[in-house]
Amino acid sequence: MMNISLLNKKILKRIGLYILVILILLWTVLPLIWMFLSSIFPYKELISDRVDHWLPSKPTVRHYMSFFDPSKEISSRFLASLRNSMIVASTTTIVCLFFGSLAAYAIVRIEFKFKKAMVMSLMFVRMLPTITLIIPFFIIVNLIDTGLIALFGGNVHLYDSKPLLIILYISFTLGFVIWIMRGFFLTMPRDLEDAARIDGLSRLQTVFRIVLPLSSNGLIATGVLAFLLAWDEFILALIFSRSDAAETIPLFIAELGSQYIHDFTQISAAGVIACIPPFVLVLIFQKFIVSGLTMGSVKG
Amino acid sequence: MGSLMIYREMSTRKLLLVLILPAVIIIFLVIIGPIAFAFILSINQATPRLGGIDLKWRGLLNYIHFFFQDPQFWLSVRITMYFTIVSLAVELVLGTGIALVLNKNFWGRGFVRAVVLIPWAVPTVVNARLWEWIYAGSSFGALNGLLKVIGALPEAKNIVWLGFDVPFAGVPLLSEFFSWMGVSRALNMIILADTWKVTPLVVFLLLAGLQQIPESLYEVASIDGANAWRKFWSITYAYLKPVFLVILVLRTMELFRVFDIIYILMQYSIRVVGIYTYETGMKFLRFGKGSALSFLVAMFILAFTLLYIKLFYKEEI
């Protein structure tokens, strides 16, 4: 008797667990599935009564094709914004990863005077809203452009250019990279570096031949997080870009549609495409990302 | 070590410079410099003119203005507080629940964990527009449709999810409180949309923490006759405390300065401090006031952080 009721309790617990798992899965994937379905709906069918229109009767890839069809005006804007996002996000990531990890290594391994102040200010800078940087940058860029236009005419300017976006993106990514890599180096044992030094490598050689290769896990984790951060950025692109020359994919998607018509077939299709790079990164590097997030939270 | 070694060796000072100088130069050029400039702007009245800017010294007047003369500022603070606290509460409860479930052994756990992280990778702008469409206030909207399918909403009725109705409109004290806080249905729905994207982050930070807890502790507690609730508070919570602190600090920073999702869905009609700062600084081009406001936002975040540390490490300090 006793055993049977215990067994029943166990089975009930298992069933309860699986119900919870299914609920979690539904909560996670239903919005994503809806975005994908919306992107393959014919427009007329998408704007009809939902209750009996959950699936497209004739699924279409037209909305995706229009982004890659050179005869459509929207295609050139879309492809340009995709390319801009790729260039800006990857350049920002590489620059910040290189300089940021070297600086983080120095902060962890070398004693110096203003170390504590530097770490604290890194933390404080993360508390400032992006707009703190936007206002001064807006004024500075205006001043520089006035000068550039006076010197070279209207073709040379900083505003609405990829280099400007890269500089701006570095401003919020570099501190982030230093912070996370610092967490990584704090947990990295010193023994191998000391061994390398005894084997006659110079300190700089030790950094480049031993430390950085040994940190590949940390570098990958930080790099993926930095890329995701840059790929996601919106407000800087909103203010400092305007045309195909610099507009990023988040800005393109935010501005899709007009005051009167929001064509959610098109918006969803663009959304799905914009999700692909981060999804691929997250699925491939899941373990690294989780370790990266934990590294960033090492107590200072 | 031999003198030869020392001769070849780079001094610590030089190494430090080589490693850290590039980053420091970049930080000074693109972070510290602009922030210092922003601070100067914040103590001036800054008027843009062609090819430059005119400054008129105002001391702390810009800051004083917001604190004592601008009711909109305090309304913005209240809305942001509501947004931050409610989001945090929902994210923490939901995140802890999901993490505890995913920490159990079940068939397909690796797959489920991989899937659960995905919403976090959805770009904020895409997330905003996705929920804008789910919340569509007509019969086309997915949420309205879903509620009709399960019978929670009559066929002929449609709810405008991103509308300005104050929650608990009929209830005397509550409705007044919520309208004083600046709460609207739209704000609550935005909290839900944001929570969907961010909870996976909370889940994964907690899961990493949960894996540090030795299983034997729970066994000992069971032998001692502790129930599930007691086990959660004296083992799980005790172990996760540092993780909770990290989540609180990280999330408060992000939530208190929220901008993207609210701007895309509501433009200037829900003025959290992030929106109000943007409006002041970039729409009306009041650079001085906008900068002052942005520093005030940072002060609030700093205050929150210190409060958490004090609350969590009361015993140790």
pTM for this structure?
0.93
Count of CB pairs separated by less than 8 Å, A with B:
273
pLDDT in the model for residue B47: 86
pLDDT in the model for residue A299: 46
Give the bridge partners for B56, in sequence order: B45
User: Hey, is the C-beta of B150 within 8 angstroms of any chain A C-beta?
Assistant: no
Backbone φ and ψ for A233, nearest 5 degrees, come out as -60, 140
Q: Taking CB atoms and an 8 Å limit, are A131 and B281 in contact across chains?
A: yes
User: Hey, is the C-beta of A289 within 8 angstroms of any chain B C-beta?
Assistant: yes
In chain A, which among 139-168 make CB contacts under 8 A with chain B?
A: 139-140, 142-143, 146, 167-168
User: Hey, is the C-beta of A32 within 8 angstroms of any chain B C-beta?
Assistant: yes
pLDDT band at B7 (very low <50, low <70, confident <90, very high): very low
Instruction: Measure in Å the smallest separation between the Cα of A49 and chain B Cα atoms.
Output: 5
How many Cβ atoms are within 10 Å of A263's Cβ, its own excluded? 15
Question: How much of chain B exceeds pLDDT 90, in percent?
Answer: 69
User: Hey, is the C-beta of B126 within 8 angstroms of any chain A C-beta?
Assistant: yes
What's domain B71-312's architecture? Orthogonal Bundle (1.10)
Cα–Cα distance for residue pair A92/A158, rounded to 1 Å: 17
Model confidence pLDDT, tens digit, residues A251-276: 999 999 766 678 899 999 999 999 99
> Domain segments of chain B: what residues?
3-61, 71-312
Q: Is the pLDDT of residue A196 over 60?
A: yes
Q: Taking CB atoms and an 8 Å limit, are A137 and B34 in contact across chains?
A: yes
CB-closest option in A51, A279, A297 to B148: A51
- List % helix, strand, coil for chain A (3-state, nearest 5): 75, 0, 25
Does ipTM come in above 0.85?
Answer: yes
pLDDT band at A113 (very low <50, low <70, confident <90, very high): confident
Q: Taking CB atoms and an 8 Å limit, are B53 and A274 in contact across chains?
A: no
Contacts of A256 in chain B (CB under 8 A): 129
Contacts of A289 in chain B (CB under 8 A): 117
User: Hey, is the C-beta of A22 within 8 angstroms of any chain B C-beta?
Assistant: no
pLDDT band at B6 (very low <50, low <70, confident <90, very high): very low
pLDDT mean across residues, chain B: 90
Looking at per-residue pLDDT, the higher value among B241 and A22 belongs to: A22
Q: Taking CB atoms and an 8 Å limit, are A138 and B305 in contact across chains?
A: no
User: Hey, is the C-beta of B281 within 8 angstroms of any chain A C-beta?
Assistant: yes
Q: Is the pLDDT of residue B202 over 70?
A: yes
In the structure encoding, which two tokens stand for residue A103, read together?
A: 């600086």
Contacts of B250 in chain A (CB under 8 A): 297
pLDDT in the model for residue B2: 43
Cα–Cα distance for residue pair B8/A203, rounded to 1 Å: 10
Q: Taking CB atoms and an 8 Å limit, are A142 and B294 in contact across chains?
A: no
User: Hey, is the C-beta of A37 within 8 angstroms of any chain B C-beta?
Assistant: no
CB A270 within 8 A of CB A67: yes
Q: Taking CB atoms and an 8 Å limit, are B124 and A279 in contact across chains?
A: no
pLDDT in the model for residue A258: 66
User: Hey, is the C-beta of B246 within 8 angstroms of any chain A C-beta?
Assistant: yes
CB-closest option in B24, B31, B113 to A171: B31
The set of long-range contacts for A162-166, using a CB threshold of 8 Å and a minimum separation of 24, is A162/A84, A162/A87, A162/A88, A162/A245, A162/A246, A164/A240, A164/A246, A165/A84, A165/A88, A165/A236, A165/A237, A165/A240, A165/A241, A165/A246, A165/A248, A166/A88, A166/A91, A166/A92, A166/A95
pLDDT band at A1 (very low <50, low <70, confident <90, very high): low
In chain A, which among 239-278 make CB contacts under 8 A with chain B?
A: 239, 249-251, 253-254, 256, 262, 264, 267-268, 271, 274-275, 278
Q: Is the pLDDT of residue B1 over 50?
A: no
Concatenated DSSP letters of B18-76: HHHHHHHHHHIIIIIHHHHHHHHHHTEEEEEETTEEEEEE-TTHHHHIIIII-HHHHHH
User: Hey, is the C-beta of B312 within 8 angstroms of any chain A C-beta?
Assistant: no
Least confident residue range of A259-268, B18-27, B104-113, B151-160: A259-268
Nearest Cα residue in chain A from B116: A28
Q: Is the pLDDT of residue B154 over 80?
A: yes
> Domain segments of chain A: what residues?
1-60, 71-295
Domain covering A71-295 in this structure, CATH number: 1.10.3720.10
User: Hey, is the C-beta of A129 within 8 angstroms of any chain B C-beta?
Assistant: yes
What average pLDDT does this structure show over A179-193?
88
Which of A34, A50, A194 should we substitute to test contact with B (largest number of B Cβ atoms within 10 Å)? A50
Model confidence pLDDT, tens digit, residues A216-239: 989 999 999 999 999 999 999 999
